[in-house]
Structure 1
Amino acid sequence: MTHRVVIADRVADAGLRLLAATPEIEVTNCAGKPREELERALAGAAALVVRSETRVTAELLTRAPQLRVIARAGTGVDNIDVHAATRRGVAVMNTPGANTVSAAEHAMGLLLGLVRHIPWAAEAMRRGEWDRKRFEGRELRGKTMGVVGLGRIGGHVAQLARAFGMQVVGHDPYLSPERAAELQVRLLPLDQLLRQADVVTLHVAHTEQTHHLINAERLKLMKPTAVLVNTARGELVDEAALADAIRDQRIGGAAIDVFAVEPLPPEAPLRRLDRVILTPHLAASTAEAQERVSVEICGAVRDALLAGDLSFALNVPGISGDLLRRLGPLLDLSRRLGRLALALVDGPVTAVEVDYGGRDEAAPRPVLMAAVEGLLSAMNVEPVSLVNALLIAEERGIRHARRTGAPEPGFETTVGVSLETARGRARVAGALVGNSHGRVIRIDDYHVDVAPEGWILVIRNRDVPGVIGRVGTLLGGAGINIGAYHQARLDLAGHDALAAIAVDQALMNGVLDALAKVPEIQQVRLAYLGA
């Protein structure tokens, strides 16, 4: 099978060569070509690679019915409608670490240029001037840097700042105290950081919560000599408020690489201000970073398409190729149990709970996702995958939960799937045998032993003689071959019994109705668990 990878924006050749050298991958390069050509190529695409130029909207996704991966050659994904992609079962990937050094160095370069007046001194020299006094600057040593966001880039900036002899304080509500100690950063509330810092540098993603994180009110908290550096996302800063603060000399200056609207309009107020350095989104624009980004993202696309490795995916965190290979039989069993459970309930499903019993700490969440995927696929929801299963369940009002505990007695690894509807509950459980193939081992309170494949007929009946014979006669008369027949009863005499029967084909021509009319049979259900 050949997978088409569409390149929408220019990426370094090293990554493209990696894809082209993979026999199972066909590369279609639409970088710099008309939009219509991109849309035609997407019709048969399995993956789309973009940088920041192409906006991947919900409408564009409708042009790519076979798309499995969107890969952003860079860090931010604000040009991608991640929710729409997730809804369609498309993994969204990025390369958060590949440009760490380049972005951090650019932030420090902007800061040095700003406090030492380097751009203006260089411009004066080109005009033939020689004015040392006018461009007297300030040292970084002994000053306080406030780093907002201490992820990969922010953490590296903190290390570089300490190398210059700066004191570093930080704000990051998600950073552990251990990591802060490792970075030698004192964590502060944002407003307190703004009051103390001589330099404020931003390194957070743009979200609803961080939009205009630096606004007019927070700019008033900064020292009149403090400077602001933004190499993260333009929308983090209220640019009009920043221009006013610099114009009124309420802060010492700013160095900005990213803007709310890019390219920055020629009439933008920031272009006309002194004590402001502007660069056109260059933080990751080094030869080394672009090559790393290209190789990393193209390798991630290859591994996702050929091995199912989703370790780079933002919307399916923590699902690596190694994990998928290790959990493959367990995830397959979970999907099949989800399908079986659906056949046993009446009415719309309102809740699903998945119990994992085993020793693999990474298993519970993927097992839940796989079970919900199987449930939704049995409901004929298309397309559904690990990427969008939980989201689709939530949209349909299906609550989901997972529990971890001891496996079912006698087994090392088991999965239980419980469904709830307005009319009742059903629970099924399965186990891995030899870590390679699964068995259905429980249906509600009944212990069974049947392979989770093909057509499974589940019959509840009164525990009286003759039922097995009547079922066999009806099926045989209809030309239905029985692959396995497991009859289960509870320990207490006089209770009902349950049969799990593997049959070779679907029951047609009223066979299910005929079984249901047998006086001793109380319920008949048929499930298809997959080949």
Structure 2
Amino acid sequence: MPPKVLVSDALSETAVQIFRDRGVDVDYRPEMGKDPAALAAIIGDYDGLAIRSATRVTPELLEKAGRLKVIGRAGIGVDNVDISAASRRGIIVMNTPFGNSVTTAEHAIALMFAVARQLPEASASTHAGRWEKNRFMGVELTAKTLGLIGAGNIGSIVADRAQGLHMKVMAYDPFLSQERALELGVRKVELDELLEHADFITLHVPLTDKTRNLLSRENLLRTKPGVRIINAARGGLLDEEALAELLRSGHVAGAALDVFAQEPATQSPLFGLPNVVVTPHLGAATTEAQENVALQVAEQMSDYLLSGAVHNALNMPAVTAEEAARMGPWIHLARHLGAFVGQMVEEPMTSLNITYGGAAAGMNTGALNAALISGLMKPSNPDANMVSAPLMAREKGIQVATTIQDQSGGQQAGNFGGFIRLDVTTESGERSVAGTVFSDGKPRFIQIRGINLDAEVGEHMLYTRNRDVPGVIGSLGTALGDLGVNIANFTLGRSAQGDAIAIIYLDEPLPAAAAQALRDSGKFIQVRPLHFEL
């Protein structure tokens, strides 16, 4: 049965056809985005939801979305999606950060020109039949200093265009490296220096708890007198009331806003002020951009639903289609290692260290980590998956560390070309398990509690630990036979300290009475039936 996608906002027919061409069953119902009750009534029938900005994905809607696996936003902003609620339910949230980057950057440049030369006011005056040539005295952009707040994808395009206009560009961005700044040709500065020296300030950051009200009243007062401010990013990044006051006082010479704290913006303290240019969130509103993001979201969602490839997800590591195919056995192994520990440990875990050696060290360890943690969480949280499990681990206060070893790093988990080892710290001690993938593509456990072995992973398994004394193996086999339990595979290992373990692949689940009989025999330190999803 093919996956089924609902398009609840207006997308182009070409984008809808991409779903069909890729073999995805798609319903195009753009009216649903404006009717939350109707959307909630049908959302349970779909594996994917493709949206723009009209559809609001709330926790209440997600409660009804039992099948939903992926939400695709055609555009950058996901303010209308509760990402936390989606993550808790294991639903991937994707956006399309590159499809409208050029369009948004060009709009910021256009707003800069408009406010520098007072173009909207001059146009309105001329339309009204007034020839007020001396009233509109503008400023040049050439040789002015542009202060970028945010030098990511869109900000870097603005920097490139501004340099073409012979502007001097400085950038404040905590994530901007000095090497990247040199590559962009911008001067990396702190916010204080940018506010003090910039003739024009443009905002290109998302709205987060850290960026909300970034240009506060206090920061606006620290700007250079005569500054002009452009915001084509997100409403809420600046204090609109304070900006209006500084425009009236003359400290700020002009402002151009495409976004507002409350949208649709039908009123604002900035409306009606001279030399304030305002547009109704047009940053991505070009024919090319709207088509690009629609096509991109259709491709991304189809890739995930059909091949497991993850592009531009906001709550899961990216995985290409090639990686998904190549890493499949290793993702299964990572999940099995997590599931092993998750079924063995009954006390709170405080930290995980996941080690990748040999061939595994060169893979997408972010995706492998997510798979391993999903296996770890699943025994106590059956709905855990690669999206929701890392969030669950964080909420439990579990610290996760990753160690990468080189191609010769297999010595710590046997002599294998590649391996994954999980070390877990609990309140009372540590647990460890390691595994590899053989050339047949089958995952194997190769080390448990530091004891080397070679155990094929089966759906139904039994783990035992005992002192290394004669007769235990025979009594274990006899006991299982007497209980009517057939053994598919039997793997042993022992340590120099006198501990021995067995991991047994069974044809069927071990009855609870059989497990209890083994415990009651007094020959075993630990008896634990295990189940793995193959």
For residues 435 and 449 of structure 2, the distance between their equivalents in structure 1, rounded to whole angstroms, comes to 12
Specify the alignment match of 1:318 in structure 2.
Answer: 318
Deviates more, 1:239-248 or 1:335-344: 335-344
Report what 2:373 is aligned to: 372
Q: Which residue of 2 aligns with 1:29?
A: 29
1:488 paired to 2:493: yes
Amino acid at match of 1:351: S
Q: Say whether 1:222 aligns with 2:223.
A: yes
| Shift in CA distance, 516/382, structure 1 to aligned 2, threshold 3 Å | closer
The whole-number CA distance in structure 1 between the counterparts of 2:250 and 2:456 is 75
Between the aligned partners of 1:240 and 1:98, the Cα distance in structure 2 is 33
Q: CA RMSD in A?
A: 1.9
Residue of structure 2 equivalent to 1:502: 505
Q: Is the 8 A contact 1:455 1:505 kept in 2?
A: yes
Distance (whole Å) between structure 2 residues aligned to residue 202 and residue 496 of structure 1: 63
Is the Cα contact below 8 Å between 1:117 and 1:137 reproduced in 2? yes
What residue is the counterpart of 1:150 in the other structure? 151
The match for 1:330 is 330
Over residues 488-514 of structure 1, what are the superposed CA-to-partner deviations in whole Å (9 max), with x where a residue is unaligned?
23346xx23222211111121611122
- Preserved contact between residue 351 and residue 421 of structure 1 (Cα < 8 Å): yes
Find the aligned partners of 1:27 and 1:428 in 2 and give their Cα distance.
Answer: 46
Stretches of structure 1 lacking an aligned partner (at least 5 in a row): none
Matched, 1:449 2:454: yes
**Displacement of 1:208 after TM fit?**
1.0
Tell me whether 471-480 or 280-289 shows the greater mean CA deviation: 471-480
Give the match for residue 307 of structure 2.
307
TM-score, structure 1 normalization: 0.95
State how 1:95-494 maps to structure 2 within 5 Å. Answer: 95-266=96-267, 268-359=268-359, 360-379=361-380, 381-405=381-405, 406-407=409-410, 408-434=413-439, 436-491=441-496
Q: Deviations over 1:175-207 (max 9, x none)?
A: 111111121111221121122111111111111
Does the CA-based 8 Å contact 2:319-2:364 persist in structure 1?
Answer: no
Q: Which stretch shows the higher mean deviation, 97-106 or 12-21?
A: 12-21
Higher mean displacement: 333-342 or 514-523: 514-523
What is the SS of the residue equivalent to 1:133?
coil
Please give the TM-score of this superposition, normalised by the length of structure 2. 0.94
Identity %: 38
After superposition, the C-alpha distances for 1:60-115 in whole angstroms (9 at most, x for unaligned) are 21121221112111112222221221121111111111111111111111111222
Distance in 2 (alpha carbons) for counterparts of 1:307 and 1:12:
24
Q: What is the letter of the counterpart of residue 118 of structure 1?
A: L
Contact kept? 1:448, 1:500, Cα under 8 Å: no
Mapped to 1, the partners of 2:231 and 2:108 lie a distance apart of 8
> Aligned to 1:529, which of 520, 523, 532?
532
Q: CA deviation at 1:222?
A: 2.4
**What do residues 421-440 of structure 1 show as CA deviations (whole Å, max 9, x unaligned)?**
33443222111112722111
CA distance in 1, matches of 2:373, 2:189: 41
Given that 2:414 and 2:446 are in contact with CA atoms closer than 8 Å, whether structure 1 keeps it comes out as: no
**How many equivalent residue pairs?**
527
Is the 2:47–2:69 Cα contact (8 Å) retained in structure 1?
Answer: yes
Note the C-alpha offset of 1:127.
Answer: 1.4
CA distance in 2 between counterparts of 1:275 and 1:509 reads 78
Q: 1:477 to 1:178 in 2, by over 3 A?
A: same
Letter in 1 for 2:453: V
The structural deviation recorded for 1:50 is 2.0
Distance 1:191 1:470 in 2: 75
Contact 1:342 1:375 in 2 (8 A): yes
Contact persistence 2:317–2:366 (CA under 8 A): no
Q: What SS does structure 2 have at the residue aligned with 1:510?
A: helix
Provide Cα deviations, 1:225-271, integer angstroms capped at 9, x if missing partner.
221111001100100011111112111011110000011123x2211
Change (3 A) 1:222 1:423: closer
Gaps (5+ residues) in structure 2? none
Q: CA deviation at 1:273?
A: 0.7
CA contact (8 A) 1:20 1:27 kept: no
Q: Which secondary structure state, in structure 2, belongs to the residue aligned with residue 270 of structure 1?
A: coil
Tell me, in whole angstroms, the C-alpha distance in 1 between the residues paired with 2:287 and 2:30. 22
- Contact kept in structure 2, 1:229 and 1:254, CA below 8 Å: yes
Q: Secondary structure at the match of 1:335?
A: helix
CA distance in 2, matches of 1:160, 1:527: 60
Aligned CA distance change for structure 1 residues 210 and 185 (closer, same or farther; 3 Å): same
What do the CA deviations read for 1:100-141 (whole angstroms, capped 9, x no partner)?
Answer: 111111111111122222212221222122222222322211
Given that 2:327 and 2:363 are in contact with CA atoms closer than 8 Å, whether structure 1 keeps it comes out as no
- Give the AA of the match of 1:518: S
> Could you list the per-position Cα deviations for residues 291-335 of structure 1 after superposition, in whole angstroms to 9, with x for gaps in the alignment?
101001111111111111122101113333322222211110111
In 2, are the aligned partners of 1:329 and 1:435 still within 8 Å (CA)? no
Once residues 350 and 187 of structure 1 are traced to their aligned partners in structure 2, the CA distance between those partners, rounded to angstroms, is 39
Q: Distance in 2 between matches of 1:270 and 1:137?
A: 20
The farther-off stretch of 114-123 and 456-465 is 456-465
Determine the C-alpha separation between the residues in 2 that align with 1:399 and 1:143: 47
Which amino acid in 2 is paired with 1:478?
L
Name the CA distance, whole Å, in 2 between partners of 1:417 and 1:517: 31
Q: Which residue identity is paired with 2:225?
A: P
